[in-house]
């Protein structure tokens, strides 16, 4: 609640402060030194769309520097209770898929490793002790139970939950006594009692009265792990990070971080807290509202290039007029990133949260699909890919297996792709239920049918049998079907529904002529002739 109103104050300040909007571009100093940025995920969940966007903006920022720089991955796993197994591999894998390749990080190496915080515990211990020895940190023996009671009392009094700094003034003998009793303790940072601020590249001056609002924060836990705050700033300092670009949700913590830098006598990096990506209902993107993990889109058949474009579309400073950004021939993520890095400018990054619409991602992907389908080399890859999906889903009984050679099979798939390319978002759409008829013969229960309907279908068969295979086009087929239907004195709607049903097992769907073009002459005739097994006379199907 408080967090929200605090953020709101900052936002209001931003909206009203025109001078700030004009000036903020001058607060980025990156040309002076070798830029080093990091993406520092905690392995508590698979890579989220929002996480990928943070990684992307860091990557683009460093790649857009004339003087060069490094993009580092650091795994922040100090909260051991929240680690999800397999997440680190997943994170690295998804980033690699998206073309975001780190210069340093776990499994890659670098001069500032190790890059996994749980492998750096001795370092944090040393720095925590340094603060303790200097009297800037102190031992706190408050038990979880005491803190819980404190929180409850504050809640009852309708006060903000805050640590009351009780252990700050323990005497030497009190501390000794507790240590002798083997009482566990944490280290807390003694905060100065004044309102602190820092200059954020995007958001201007950010103030937060952390001392009176939160009380002294824990920096080192009783399990000999540092908290996020200590580990984060020690690593940013030792890894020579020059710019921290991270989500706005960390903005409150930054005031604490700046105080820690002061305590060590170090110069903090420059901070840019990125606006959030929100769902269409204005809430933070979360898995409750649908797919938010990069892996889900990857497995669903989305191209990395589409996801990169989708993320760049929201608040990253690329204009709509620049249109979709992809490489000249094949939309590889590396090419997309190269093009983006040339256009990227931190000064253009927005300050307002963005409401994202996943239909935009679909639009990008279908544009990329069409782009790929216009390239000879990528068509062959897509034919192969689709063939693999078909085999996986329909097994050996799919109709490709009835064809005598690979050339025929590929021609068939190529036809499907070219006829349906404007109607799909991902390649896998072509194996969704709606497209089952393309790959397997539908099973159609025998029904009773009027004799004139039966004749009509068989006349269509004769027309198709006579037609030259090369003549299979919508333009040729549609008028002939209409002609036959008119001569049979049948109503158009039931006649077409019957043909569609026999061909696809569906009463609604693409135009009959299109289905025939996809299936080809032989397969279409075979399906239509099934009508001969129907019983004559009854009007049931004619009413469809």
User: Which of 106/494 has CB closer to ligand GLU?
Assistant: 106
Rg of the chain's alpha carbons, rounded to an integer? 32
- Cβ nearer to ligand GLU, comparing 42 with 450: 42
Least distance in Å: CB of 91 to ligand GLU? 10
Which of these segments, 4-12, 36-44, 124-132, 470-478, binds ligand GLU (CB under 6 A)?
Answer: 36-44
Asked if 270 touches ligand GLU (CB under 6 A), the answer is no
Token pair in block for residue 510: 């693409």
Of positions 188, 229, 243, 246, contacts ligand GLU by CB under 6 A = 246
Among 10-18, 34-42, 366-374, 428-436, which window interacts with ligand GLU (CB under 6 A)? Answer: 34-42
Among the listed ranges 35-43, 213-221, 459-467, 483-491, the one in contact with ligand GLU (CB under 6 A) is 35-43
Pick 78 or 450: Cβ nearer ligand GLU: 78
Residue found by looking up tokens 């993406």 in the block: 39
Q: Please tell me whether residue 254 binds ligand GLU under the rule CB under 6 A.
A: no
Collapse the DSSP code of 99 into the 3-class scheme (helix H, G, I; strand E, B; otherwise coil) and give the result: coil
Q: Kindly write out the interface string for residues 393-432 of this chain, putting x where it contacts ligand GLU by CB under 6 A and - elsewhere.
A: ----------------------------------------
Give the residue with the Cβ less far from ligand GLU, 349 or 531. 349
Q: How far is the CB of 250 from ligand GLU (least distance, A)?
A: 5
Residues 6+ apart with CB under 8 A from 490: 452, 453, 456, 542
Task: Output the smallest distance, CB 197 to ligand GLU, in A.
Answer: 18
Q: Which two tokens stand for residue 390?
A: 């078909």
Q: How far is the CB of 130 from ligand GLU (least distance, A)?
A: 21
Residue 63: phi and psi, rounded to 5, are: -75, -20
Asked whether the bond before 134 is cis by omega within 30 degrees of 0, the reply is: no
Q: Is 70 helix (H, G, I), strand (E, B) or coil?
A: strand
Element (H, E) at 536: strand 535-536
Q: Cβ 98 to ligand GLU, closest distance in Å? A: 17
> Rounded to an integer, what distance in angstroms lies between the CA atom of residue 525 and that of residue 464?
7
CB 252 within 8 A of CB 3: yes
Binding mask 352-381 for ligand GLU (x = CB under 6 A): ------------------------------
Q: Evaluate whether 135 touches 142 at the Cβ level (below 8 Å).
A: no
Contacting range for ligand GLU; rule: CB under 6 A; set: 38-46, 84-92, 456-464, 501-509: 38-46
Taking each helix axis as running N to C, give the angle between helix 406-420 and helix 512-519, from 0 to 180 degrees, rounded to the nearest 10. 160
* Beta carbon of residue 38, minimum distance to ligand GLU (angstroms, whole number): 7
Contact 49, 294 (CB under 8 A): yes
Total binding residues toward ligand GLU, as defined by CB under 6 A: 7
Residue 422, C-beta contacts closer than 8 angstroms, at least 6 positions apart: 366, 370
Q: Does 76 bind ligand GLU (CB under 6 A)?
A: yes
Q: What string of H, E and C letters represents the secondary structure of 253-276? A: HHHHHHHHHHHHCCCCCEEEEECC
Binders of ligand GLU among 194-233, rule CB under 6 A? 232
Nearest approach in angstroms of CB 78 to ligand GLU is 9
Q: Which is nearer to ligand GLU, 104 or 523 (CB)?
A: 104
* Pair 78, 227: CB distance under 8 Å: yes
Place of tokens 């002294």: 216
**CA distances, 230 to each of 71, 218, 273 (Å):** 21, 9, 19
Q: Which is nearer to ligand GLU, 159 or 223 (CB)?
A: 223
28 close to 270: Cβ distance less than 8 angstroms: yes
Nearer to ligand GLU, 102 or 510 (CB): 102
Nearer to ligand GLU, 232 or 242 (CB): 232
Using CB under 6 A, which of 41, 301, 315, 333 touches ligand GLU? 41
CB closer to ligand GLU out of 83 and 403: 83
- Among 30, 42, 70, 203, which residue interacts with ligand GLU (rule: CB under 6 A)? 42
Would you give the DSSP letter of residue 542? G
Binding to ligand GLU, residues 459-518 (CB under 6 A): none
**What are the tokens at 411?**
């021609």
Tell me which of 250, 261, 266, 389 binds ligand GLU, using CB under 6 A. 250
Report yes or no: 534 and 454 within 8 Å, Cβ to Cβ: yes
Give dist(CA 178, CA 74) in Å, integer: 36
Q: In angstroms, what is the minimal distance from the CB of 40 to ligand GLU?
A: 4
Q: Does position 40 bind ligand GLU by CB under 6 A?
A: yes
- For the stretch 9-16, contacts whose Cβ atoms lie closer than 8 Å and that sit 24 or more positions apart, written own/partner, are 10/203, 10/206, 10/251, 11/352, 13/204, 14/203, 14/204, 14/351
Which residues have C-beta within 8 Å of that of residue 483, sequence separation ≥ 6?
none
Interface with ligand GLU includes 251 (CB under 6 A)? no
Q: Which residues bind ligand GLU (CB under 6 A)?
A: 40-42, 76, 232, 246, 250
């Amino acid at each position: 609640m408080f967090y929200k109103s605090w953020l709101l104050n900052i936002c209001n300040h931003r909206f009203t402060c025109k001078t700030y909007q004009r000036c903020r571009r001058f607060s980025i100093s990156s040309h002076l030194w070798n830029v080093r940025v990091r993406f520092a995920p905690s392995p508590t969940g698979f890579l989220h769309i929002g996480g990928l966007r943070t990684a992307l903006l860091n990557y683009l920022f460093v790649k857009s520097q004339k003087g060069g720089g490094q993009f580092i991955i650091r795994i922040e796993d100090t909260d051991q209770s929240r680690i999800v197994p397999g997440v680190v591999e997943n994170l690295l894998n998804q980033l690699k898929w998206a073309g975001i390749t780190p210069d340093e990080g776990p499994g890659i190496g670098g001069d500032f490793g190790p890059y996994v915080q749980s492998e750096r515990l001795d370092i944090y211990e040393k720095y925590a002790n340094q603060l303790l020895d200097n009297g800037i940190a102190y031992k706190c023996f408050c038990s979880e139970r005491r803190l819980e009671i404190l929180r409850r009392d504050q809640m009852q009094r309708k006060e903000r939950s805050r640590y009351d700094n009780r252990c700050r003034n323990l005497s030497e003998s009190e501390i000794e006594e507790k240590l002798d009793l083997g009482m566990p303790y944490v280290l807390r940072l003694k905060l100065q009692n004044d309102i602190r601020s820092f200059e954020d590249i995007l958001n201007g001056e950010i103030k937060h009265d952390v001392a009176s609002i939160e009380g002294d924060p824990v920096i080192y836990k009783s399990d000999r792990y540092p908290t996020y705050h200590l580990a984060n700033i020690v690593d940013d300092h030792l890894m020579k990070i020059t710019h921290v670009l991270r989500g706005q949700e960390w903005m409150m913590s930054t005031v604490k971080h700046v105080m820690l830098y002061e305590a060590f006598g170090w110069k903090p990096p420059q901070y840019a807290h990125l606006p959030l990506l929100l769902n269409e209902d204005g809430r933070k993107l979360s898995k409750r509202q649908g797919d938010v993990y990069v892996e889900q889109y990857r497995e669903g058949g989305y191209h990395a290039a589409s996801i990169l474009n989708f993320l760049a579309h929201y608040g990253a400073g690329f204009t709509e007029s620049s249109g979709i950004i992809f490489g000249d021939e094949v939309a590889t993520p590396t090419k997309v990133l190269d093009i983006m890095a040339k256009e990227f400018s931190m000064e253009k990054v927005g300050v307002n949260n963005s409401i994202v619409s996943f239909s935009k991602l679909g639009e990008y992907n279908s544009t990329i699909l069409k782009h790929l389908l216009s390239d000879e080399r990528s068509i062959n890859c897509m034919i192969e890919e689709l063939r693999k999906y078909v085999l996986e889903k329909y097994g050996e009984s799919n109709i490709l297996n009835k064809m005598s050679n690979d050339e025929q099979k590929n021609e068939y798939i190529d036809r499907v792709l070219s006829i349906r390319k404007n109607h799909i978002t991902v390649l896998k759409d072509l194996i969704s239920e709606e497209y089952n008829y393309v790959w397997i013969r539908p099973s159609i229960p025998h029904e009773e049918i009027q004799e004139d309907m039966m004749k009509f279908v068989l006349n269509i068969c004769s027309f198709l049998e006579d037609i030259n295979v090369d003549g299979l086009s919508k333009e040729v087929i549609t008028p002939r079907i209409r002609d036959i239907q008119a001569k049979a004195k049948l109503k158009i709607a039931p006649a077409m529904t019957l043909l569609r049903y026999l061909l696809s097992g569906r009463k609604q769907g693409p135009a009959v002529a299109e289905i025939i073009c996809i299936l080809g002459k032989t397969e279409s005739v075979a399906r239509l002739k099934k009508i001969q097994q129907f019983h004559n006379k009854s009007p049931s199907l004619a009413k469809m």
